[in-house]
A and B are shown apart, each in its own frame.
Chain A
Amino acid sequence: MPFIPHTEADIQEMLDTIGVSSIDELFAEIPEAIRAKPLEKVPEGLNEMELMRLMRDRAARDENGLRTFVGAGVYEHHIPAAVWEVTTRGEYYSAYTPYQAEASQGTLQTIYEFQTMIAGLTGMEAANASLYEGGTALAEAILMAVRAHKGKSHRVLVPETVHPSYRRVAASYCGAQDVMVESIPYDPASGTIDPAALDSVEGDFAALVVPQPNFFGRLEDEAALAAKAAERGALVIASVNPMALSVLTPPGEWGADIAVGEGQPLGIPMSSGGPFLGLMATSKKLVRQMPGRLAARTVDTDGREGFTLTLQAREQHIRRAKAKSNICTNQGLAMTAATIYMALVGEAGLTQVAGVSHSNTRKLVDRLTAIEGVEPLFDGPFFHEAALRLPKPATEVTPALTERGILGGFELGREYAGLENGLLVCATETKSEADLDAYAEALAAVL
Chain B
Amino acid sequence: MEVRDDRLYTKSHEWVQKEDDGTVTIGITDYAQDLLSDVVFVELPETDNTVSNGDELAVAESVKAASDIYAPISGDIVAVNEDLEDSPEKVNEEPFDGGWIFQMKPSDESELDALMDPDAYREMCESEE
Task: Answer yes or no: B66 CB below 8 A from chain A CBs.
Answer: yes
Does B46 contact A150, Cβ atoms closer than 8 Å? Answer: yes
CB 8 Å contact bits of B82-124 with A (1 = contact, 0 = none) = 0000000000000000000000000000000000000000000
Bound: A288/B66 CA distance, A:
12
Task: Answer yes or no: B41 CB below 8 A from chain A CBs.
Answer: yes
Does B46 contact A319, Cβ atoms closer than 8 Å? Answer: no
Does A288 contact B64, Cβ atoms closer than 8 Å? Answer: no
Bound: A319/B46 CA distance, A:
22
Does A322 contact B62, Cβ atoms closer than 8 Å? Answer: no
**Chain B residues near A314 (CB-CB < 8 A):** 66
Does B46 contact A318, Cβ atoms closer than 8 Å? Answer: no
Instruction: Determine the residue in chain B with the shortest Cβ distance to A322.
Output: B68
**Chain A residues near B64 (CB-CB < 8 A):** 312-313, 318
Bound: A284/B15 CA distance, A:
31
Bound: A288/B64 CA distance, A:
15
Number of interface residues of A (CB under 8 A): 8
Bound: A150/B64 CA distance, A:
27
Q: Give min CB distance, A32 to chain B, whole Å.
A: 36
Besides the known contacts A288-B43, A313-B64, 14 further A-B residue pairs in the complex with CB atoms under 8 A apart:
A150-B46, A288-B41, A312-B64, A313-B41, A313-B61, A313-B62, A313-B63, A313-B66, A314-B66, A318-B64, A318-B66, A319-B66, A322-B66, A322-B68
**Chain B residues near A313 (CB-CB < 8 A):** 41, 61-66
Bound: A150/B46 CA distance, A:
8
Within 8 A of B (CB), among A301-347: 312-314, 318-319, 322
Say what secondary structure dominates the interface of chain B: strand
**Chain A residues near B61 (CB-CB < 8 A):** 313
Q: Give min CB distance, A53 to chain B, whole Å.
A: 51
Instruction: Determine the residue in chain B with the shortest Cβ distance to A320.
Output: B66
Bound: A314/B64 CA distance, A:
10
Bound: A314/B46 CA distance, A:
19
**Chain B residues near A318 (CB-CB < 8 A):** 64-66
**Chain A residues near B63 (CB-CB < 8 A):** 313
CB 8 Å contact bits of A143-172 with B (1 = contact, 0 = none) = 000000010000000000000000000000
**Chain A residues near B66 (CB-CB < 8 A):** 313-314, 318-319, 322
**Chain B residues near A319 (CB-CB < 8 A):** 66
Residues of chain B touching chain A, judged by Cβ–Cβ distance below 8 Å, are 41, 43, 46, 61-66, 68
Bound: A348/B24 CA distance, A:
59
**Chain B residues near A288 (CB-CB < 8 A):** 41, 43
**Chain B residues near A312 (CB-CB < 8 A):** 64
Bound: A288/B68 CA distance, A:
15
**Chain A residues near B62 (CB-CB < 8 A):** 313
Bound: A314/B43 CA distance, A:
12
**Chain A residues near B41 (CB-CB < 8 A):** 288, 313
**Chain B residues near A150 (CB-CB < 8 A):** 46
Which 8 residue pairs of A and B lie closest in terms of their CB atoms, listed nearest first? A313-B66, A313-B61, A150-B46, A319-B66, A318-B65, A318-B66, A313-B65, A318-B64
Bound: A313/B62 CA distance, A:
7
Q: Give min CB distance, B87 to chain A, whole Å.
A: 17
Q: Give min CB distance, A58 to chain B, whole Å.
A: 47
Q: Give min CB distance, B22 to chain A, whole Å.
A: 26
Instruction: Determine the residue in chain A with the shortest Cβ distance to B45.
Output: A150
Instruction: Determine the residue in chain B with the shortest Cβ distance to A151.
Output: B46
Bound: A314/B65 CA distance, A:
9
**Chain A residues near B65 (CB-CB < 8 A):** 313, 318
Instruction: Determine the residue in chain B with the shortest Cβ distance to A317.
Output: B64
Bound: A428/B41 CA distance, A:
46
- Give 18 CB contacts A-B under 8 Å: A150-B46, A288-B41, A288-B43, A312-B64, A313-B41, A313-B61, A313-B62, A313-B63, A313-B64, A313-B65, A313-B66, A314-B66, A318-B64, A318-B65, A318-B66, A319-B66, A322-B66, A322-B68
From B41, B61, B62, B65, name the one whose CB has the most chain A CB atoms within 10 angstroms: B61
Q: Give min CB distance, B16 to chain A, whole Å.
A: 23
Instruction: Determine the residue in chain B with the shortest Cβ distance to A289.
Output: B43
Bound: A150/B48 CA distance, A:
12
Instruction: Determine the residue in chain A with the shortest Cβ distance to B41.
Output: A288
Within 8 A of B (CB), among A151-210: none
Bound: A314/B61 CA distance, A:
9
Q: Give min CB distance, B82 to chain A, whole Å.
A: 14
Q: Give min CB distance, A315 to chain B, whole Å.
A: 9
Bound: A312/B65 CA distance, A:
8
Bound: A322/B43 CA distance, A:
14
Bound: A313/B66 CA distance, A:
6
Q: Give min CB distance, A34 to chain B, whole Å.
A: 30
Bound: A57/B54 CA distance, A:
61
Bound: A312/B46 CA distance, A:
23
Bound: A322/B66 CA distance, A:
10
